[in-house]
Amino acid sequence: MNSIAQQLKTRFEKAFTSAFGESYAGTDPMLAAAGNPKFGDFQCNAAMSLGKKLGKPPRAIASTIIENLDIADICETPEIAGPGFINLKLKPAYLEAQISEIAADTRLGIEPAKTPQRVAIDFSSPNIAKEMHVGHLRSTIIGDAIARILEFQGHDVLRINHIGDWGTQFGMLIAYLREVHPEALTTADALDLGDLVAFYRQAKQRFDADETFKETARQEVVKLQAGAEDTRRAWKLLCDQSRREFQVIYDLLDIKLTERGESFYNPLLPAVVEDLTNLGLLVESDGAKCVFVDGFTNKEGEPLPLIVQKTDGGYNYATTDLAAIRYRIQNDNAKRIIYVTDSGQANHFAQVFAVARKACWIPEDVEIVHVPFGLVLGEEGKRLKTRSGEAVRLQDLLDEAIVRATQDLEDRLVREERQETKEFIANVGRVVGLSAVKYADLSQNRASNYVFSYDKMLALQGNTAPYMLYAYARVQGIRRKGEINFDNLDAGAKVILQSDAELVLAKHLLQFNEVINAVDGDLLPNRICQYLFELSQKFNQFFEQCPVLKAEEPLRTSRLILCDLTARTLKLGLGLLGIKVLERM
Ligand code: ARG
């Protein structure tokens, strides 16, 4: 179903043609939400610019438009205001019909994308032998939400985990473990990720201080790249160890990813350098092979090279990303490639994309974007750390959210004098805790930093997951109390929109498809959060002002339809954010 704005736009375009001729068919009606609900729902602001073009007073243009406008089935008679605004007020009968239509549709009136695309989303992407940190958590949550939204839109989404599983650090780590913990290189599970991280740190210290060790580490890298069996086995073991621990987090958060780490592109790296050479784009600088593109400079203002092969012959993070772009375009056939990382990597991606463009590796019909996000801050406004100043372990952070959500629930049960089973408490605590973490992240414009606060994210009031979940559970409460089966509501029952609260709720329900379409474009999931927040507020107002179960028929059924549609919208919207609803909480 077309959005209301879209339907209005079509009518205006017709009016422009009949009023001013074919050449005006494509004129933008400049529709906006009415500044003041007193004047209606929308306003058309096109008369001013058309007036200039046609050399006529805008108010005269506005009346010509209205004379040619066939819109009586949607709006009350349009009114002209001020210099030439056209105010439009939607008719309740029209809204009633639209609500019935979306209520009868499992997709709530949201049409899938007209041209489904293959989309590659590169997200999460932690590094082997390092802890997954909050930056990876953001990437995981935001990337998953974007994937869910695009999948719902009918796109064919590849969820790629570009794990940092290759590079000189492995030589260092393997050389060190051979010395201090050789069994870790031959036995699975000899270490956990915590140990691995500690060894990694020690190995790095050794590497920086000890020349002989440095040499040994280099040899390990060479052996690894040459495919020496014992080094390879050691490397694989280390990767498996980390992978298992990442998987615990993914399972907890219900995240699906296909691993395709940096090592995957290893065999493709020489061709990247060769092709850049043949294109005449490679420049040797201090023995390193570089590409220069306009517009990239270092702090001193000098041209900044993208190094694709180091003096010692090793390849870089950037080389792998160039190979990955080629692979995603040529082998995966991706038409849209999305990278979800912190904004600290914005320059890296801008430069890599620029080099790939210069090499003509990105066809016209392929869109490639970096989706950056800001930092997670502690309550004092600095980067989130533990009390002892270390990076927060994700597992601890999620566990803590669950513990606190469970505690909040137990307190509430005491206050409400309710008895619930252990299973109920554990399940609700877990869902609320994890939802709160996800929602707190997604509800911010991703570009900004945000303060991580358990108290705020778990609050029952405000733009939080618990508030949204509560609105959903409230509808299910009505269902249970009235012993209603929403699936069996009279399909032909008429929706009746009488009171203001009903009209306000209905209009909001009809905007969901616009929001989803906008997010398909700009990849800002916080739009969905804001929409759901307002929906919950409008529903709560409706519920306070309009009796539902006690209303007389046919109003009762109509209001039940609104309740159910609100709940289904919440469930769908939260689902697109990776959040599950609760029937009771
Ligand atoms: N492993 C990287 C990190 O932890 C993120 C990788 C992002 N994806 C990419 N294709 N470079 O920062």
Structure token digits, residue 113: 């994308």
Residue whose CA lies nearest to ligand 1 atom number 9: 162
Contact 574, 581 (CB under 8 A): yes
Distance 294 CA to ligand 1 centre (A): 24
104: three-class secondary structure by DSSP = coil
At 138-179, the pLDDT tens digits run: 999 999 999 999 999 999 999 999 999 998 889 999 999 999
- Rounded Cα distance between 3 and 25, Å, is 20
* Tens-digit pLDDT string for the chain (585 aa): 788 999 999 999 999 999 999 999 889 999 999 988 888 999 999 999 999 999 999 999 999 999 999 999 999 999 999 999 999 999 999 999 999 999 999 999 999 999 999 999 999 999 998 888 899 999 999 999 999 999 999 999 999 999 999 988 899 999 999 998 888 888 887 887 778 888 888 999 999 999 999 999 989 988 888 888 989 988 998 899 899 989 999 999 999 999 999 999 999 999 999 999 999 999 998 899 999 999 999 899 999 999 999 998 889 999 999 999 999 999 999 999 999 999 999 999 999 999 999 999 999 999 999 999 999 999 888 888 877 777 788 999 999 999 999 999 999 999 999 999 999 999 999 999 999 999 999 999 999 999 999 999 999 999 999 999 999 999 999 999 999 999 888 777 899 999 999 999 999 999 999 999 999 999 999 999 999 999 999 999 999 999 999 999 999 999 999 999 999 999 999 999 999 999 999
Q: Which residues of 149-160 are buried (b: 16+ CB within 10 A; e: fewer)?
A: bbebbebebbbb
* Ligand 1, pocket-test mutation among 246, 341, 355, 373, most atoms within 8 A of CB: 341
Distance 160 CA to ligand 1 centre (A): 11
Residue whose CA lies nearest to ligand 1 atom number 11: 321
At 70-113, the pLDDT tens digits run: 999 999 999 999 999 999 999 999 999 999 999 999 999 999 99
| H/E segment holding residue 324 | helix 317-330
**Helix, strand, coil share (%) of the chain residues, nearest 5:** 55, 10, 30
376: three-class secondary structure by DSSP = strand
Q: Residue 443: left (phi > 0), alpha (psi -120 to 50), or beta?
A: alpha
At 428-454, the pLDDT tens digits run: 999 999 999 999 999 999 999 999 999
Site of tokens 């990776």: 578
Residue whose CA lies nearest to ligand 1 atom number 3: 126
Atom of ligand 1 nearest to the CA of 130: 4
CB atoms within 10 A of CB 545: 12
Distance 321 CA to ligand 1 centre (A): 9
pLDDT score, position 167: 83
Phi, psi for residue 376 in degrees, rounded to 5: -95, 125
Residue whose CA lies nearest to ligand 1 atom number 8: 162
Distance 442 CA to ligand 1 centre (A): 20
Nearest-CA neighbor of 527 among 257, 37, 142, 116? 142
DSSP string computed for 125-155: --BTTS---HHHHHHHHHHHHHHHHHHHTT-
Bridge partners, 391 (sequence order): 385
Q: Residue 67: left (phi > 0), alpha (psi -120 to 50), or beta?
A: alpha
Distance 139 CA to ligand 1 centre (A): 10
At 292-332, the pLDDT tens digits run: 999 999 899 999 999 999 998 889 999 999 999 999 999 99
Distance 136 CA to ligand 1 centre (A): 9
Distance 125 CA to ligand 1 centre (A): 5
Nearest-CA neighbor of 441 among 371, 376, 384, 381? 376
Dihedral angle sign, alpha carbons of residues 210, 213, 218, 221: negative
Strands (E), 248-406: 258-259, 282-285, 288-297, 303-309, 336-342, 367-373, 376-377
- Rounded Cα distance between 66 and 16, Å, is 10
Structure token digits, residue 33: 């939400």
Residue whose CA lies nearest to ligand 1 atom number 5: 125
- Rounded Cα distance between 119 and 208, Å, is 41
Atom of ligand 1 nearest to the CA of 163: 1
* Ligand 1, pocket-test mutation among 345, 370, 394, most atoms within 8 A of CB: 345
The runs of H, that is alpha helices, within 370-511 are: 394-415, 422-442, 454-458, 465-481, 500-509
Contact 154, 211 (CB under 8 A): no
Distance 261 CA to ligand 1 centre (A): 9
Contact 50, 12 (CB under 8 A): no
Atom of ligand 1 nearest to the CA of 341: 7
Rg (CA), the chain: 29
The three-point CA angle 327-142-582 to 5° equals: 130
pLDDT score, position 502: 98
- Rounded Cα distance between 366 and 347, Å, is 20
pTM: 0.94
Residue whose CA lies nearest to ligand 1 atom number 6: 125
Distance 48 CA to ligand 1 centre (A): 49
Residues in the chain: 585
Distance 341 CA to ligand 1 centre (A): 7
Residue whose CA lies nearest to ligand 1 atom number 4: 126
Pocket of ligand 1 (CB under 6 A): 122, 125-127, 162, 164, 321, 324, 339, 341
